[in-house]
Amino acid sequence: MTTVAARAGETRPGEILWRPPADVLTSSAMGRYLTWLEQARGLSFGHDYHALWRWSTSDLAGFWGSLADYMGVRFHDQPAAVLTDVTMPGTNWFPGATLNFAEHALAGPPEATVVVARSETRPRIELTRGELRARVASLRAALRGLGVGPGDRVAAYLPNIPEALITLYAAASLGAIFTCCAPESGTRSVISRIGQVGPAVLVTVDGYVYGGQRYDRTAEVAAIRAAVPSIRTTVAVPYLERVNTVPDSVDWHDLMAQPAELEFAAVPFAHPLYIVYSSGTTGRPKAIVHGHGGILLEHLKLFLLHDDLGPADRWFWYSSTNWMAWNYGASVLLGGGSLLIFDGHPMRPELADYWRMVGDEGVTCLGTSPGFLLACQKEGLVPRQAADLSALRTINCGGAPLTADGFRWVYRAVTPDGYLGSGSGGTDVASSFVSGCRLLPVRAGEIACRLLGVDAQAFSDAGQLVVGERGELVIRQPMPSMPVGFWGDTGGGRLFGTYFERFPGVWCHGDWVTFSAHGSCQVTGRSDATLNRGGVRLGTSEFYAVIDEIEELSDSLVVHLEDANGGPGQLILFVATRDGASLTGEAAARIRSLLREELSPRHQPDLVRQVAAIPRTLTGKRMEVPVKRVLLDPGAAPAEPGEADALAEFRDLGRQLAAAGDGARRGTRNASAPRGT
């Protein structure tokens, strides 16, 4: 591989830091796919990725059909077609086909290590594929014995431990539907999610450990069970204690004691695999249903072609089970390699310990966030000197824009000749829209390309395609991993209103994007009121549901100010008190604590600030987007009549933040954790 070194102090974006090697058609998975297309389908694209991408979005049946053939997708019943309609929403993919996601994830040599689990509190665990299959088989049989069948929901309240993966694969093998919340989530947050989908079984822990601190969750488990009457059986994984301390539950180890044969239910292509949740900006979180076939094909494309993942690779992206990246990681096994997971705080006692773990475990493909890389850079850490990173060949960065300087730092301090990809996507499609490809150079500060099969574009407010200027990120052609639907959304009205109402027939994602003439892009934050904190999206309505119950407060509004350098930014909660009484420091601390307990640690604002009144539109909606706009740009002209007076106090605050300097304006917290913490 060829590296182009950056000159010290250089700041221009677009500088090429890595070029494809001369043998890219044989040394990369994408190159081998190109060769196969020419030999098997008579399609010749040479080294031209953009020509390949244009074909993949103009001939959807040709591309996705070729991908299924090339990847050897195991259809139990063959499809009658690749798709029957390109209309969105409502595209019917691979009609008549049956398959099973778990069958693909668990296929391969039984002796190969596939999961390595590390933890703050538990011993290191290695599972071979044979051992993982045996545990999945035992749980599958146990779930069947509990009456779980195709279409039933299995919910997990688990940290990132092997038991969570085993539960997902076991549920999928049955045709049951998996859903999960992390145990740091408060009862309100969990109930608003899994309470919608009516799980029959809850798999839980008695608590968890983070940063050396123990958190007992038995009271939360009791509250969840009381609020979700569909739960017939609770399965408890002993975690804080050696024995099961969750009342009226089945012990995990007892349930797993009986060996069984592993089987896979043949389910339709769109049969639900798992349910993930939106942020909850405009109401209760949407329960997004993803299907077996769509996730399988999308992740085969993403991991095996774009990420170049193979049997020799070990993949790690530190994540909570609350975040789509955890579900995403469960697909790593499709490439035949192994997955490293971590439970707890991986940077104790210092940032370098994270990199030492990456080196010690031979990680070859690392996912991380700009905020974490920035924290390492600010600390003066040189990871390749702190740890043996000789195995590391790929770094994927997401959750926020990675600056040009961040790109250069990676090549100086982490890996001088590895491949650095930056990407952006969403829980909504359980994947990325834009990311990297080894057929293209790595340019400082830019996302390399649109992914195959993803017709991503930028639209103006009038719905016109724009290049070289900021616009709404839209998808003009269907993707198999677009949601099967929202749970309980009879008729699909909520799904349509979420993605297709603004530009009929076109998916509007809610991000700002700028595409260059050569196909690279920069994603520069949310265009709606959703809060993007380190890659994890938080819904504003969840904040308000908690705050509205505090008697001394009359109104509230929450915004997140992104950090242009890729840091965590600043989450600000504005409150108005009843009768104009002053908000004390003690009251602000109580509000922050309540948000943590009821929702999650991520929901704690960096700043709680009292204002005279919360600005609202004529229809009573909080003016979240206008407030954010004037905080970031106090000189911005009002977008709507009447905004000027309503936003005057916030415009003054924006000027104060600007005068205080970029650090105060964009967030002052130390970004000491990678994406997902």
Who has greater pLDDT, 510 or 268?
Answer: 268
- Residue of 556 and 179 predicted with greater confidence: 179
How many domains does the chain fold into?
Answer: 2
Let me know: does 62 contact 40? Beta carbons within 8 Å.
Answer: no
Backbone angles phi, psi at 203, to 5 degrees: -105, 125
**Position 451 pLDDT exceeds 90:** yes
The predicted structure's pLDDT at residue 673 = 31
Residue 539: pLDDT band with limits 50, 70, 90: low
Domain-embedded: residue 453: no
In a domain, 35, yes or no: no
Last residue of a domain, one of 236, 265, 294: 265
Query: Quick one: pLDDT at residue 662?
Result: 44
Band (8; pLDDT cuts 50, 70, 90): very low
> Would 514 be classed as within a structural domain?
no
Task: Assign 2 a pLDDT band (cuts: 50, 70, 90).
Answer: very low
Q: Which contiguous run of DSSP H or E holds residue 208?
A: strand 207-210
Checking if the pLDDT of 186 tops 70, the result is yes
pLDDT at 522: 87
Domain holding 545: CATH number?
Answer: 3.30.300.30
**Of 240, 265, 290, which marks where a domain is finished?**
265
176 in any annotated domain: yes
* Residue where a domain terminates, one of 220, 243, 265: 265
Res. 3: pLDDT tops 60: no
| Confidence at residue 663, expressed as pLDDT on a 0 to 100 scale | 40
Could you report the per-residue pLDDT of 203-231, keeping only the tens digit for each?
A: 999 999 999 999 999 999 999 999 999 99
Residue 48 lies in a domain: no
Question: CA 175 to CA 152: how far, in whole Å?
Answer: 8
Question: 53-62, 117-126, 342-351: which has the minimum mean pLDDT?
Answer: 342-351
Compute the mean pLDDT over every residue in the chain, rounded to the nearest whole number. Answer: 89
* CATH number of the domain where residue 209 is located: 3.40.50.980
Token couple for 177: 């539907």
Q: Which of residues 155 and 595 earns the better pLDDT score? A: 155
Residue of 639 and 196 predicted with greater confidence: 196
Give the count of beta carbons closer than 10 Å to the beta carbon of residue 77: 13
State percent of the chain over pLDDT 70: 90
- pLDDT at 281 exceeding the cut of 80: no
Task: Evaluate if residue 282 carries a pLDDT over 70.
Answer: no
pLDDT at 11 over 80: no
Under the banding of pLDDT at 50, 70 and 90, the label for residue 528 is low
Question: How far out from the chain centre does Cα 361 lie?
Answer: 23
- The residue segments making up the domain with residue 544 are 531-666
* 63, part of any domain: no
**Average pLDDT score over residue span 356-366:** 97
Residue 638 lies in a domain: yes
- Which residue blocks in 304-391 are alpha helix, DSSP H? 324-329, 351-360, 370-378, 383-386
Residue 356 has pLDDT above 90, yes or no: yes
Query: What local confidence, expressed as pLDDT, does residue 444 receive?
Result: 93
Q: Report how far apart, in Å, the C-alpha atoms of 58 and of each of 37, 324, 484, 599 are.
A: 16, 29, 22, 43
Residues with Cβ within 8 Å of 556's Cβ and at least 6 positions away in sequence, in order, are: 543, 544, 547, 548, 573, 574, 575, 576, 614
Least confident of 384-398, 410-424, 549-563: 549-563
Domain assignment present for residue 550? The answer is yes
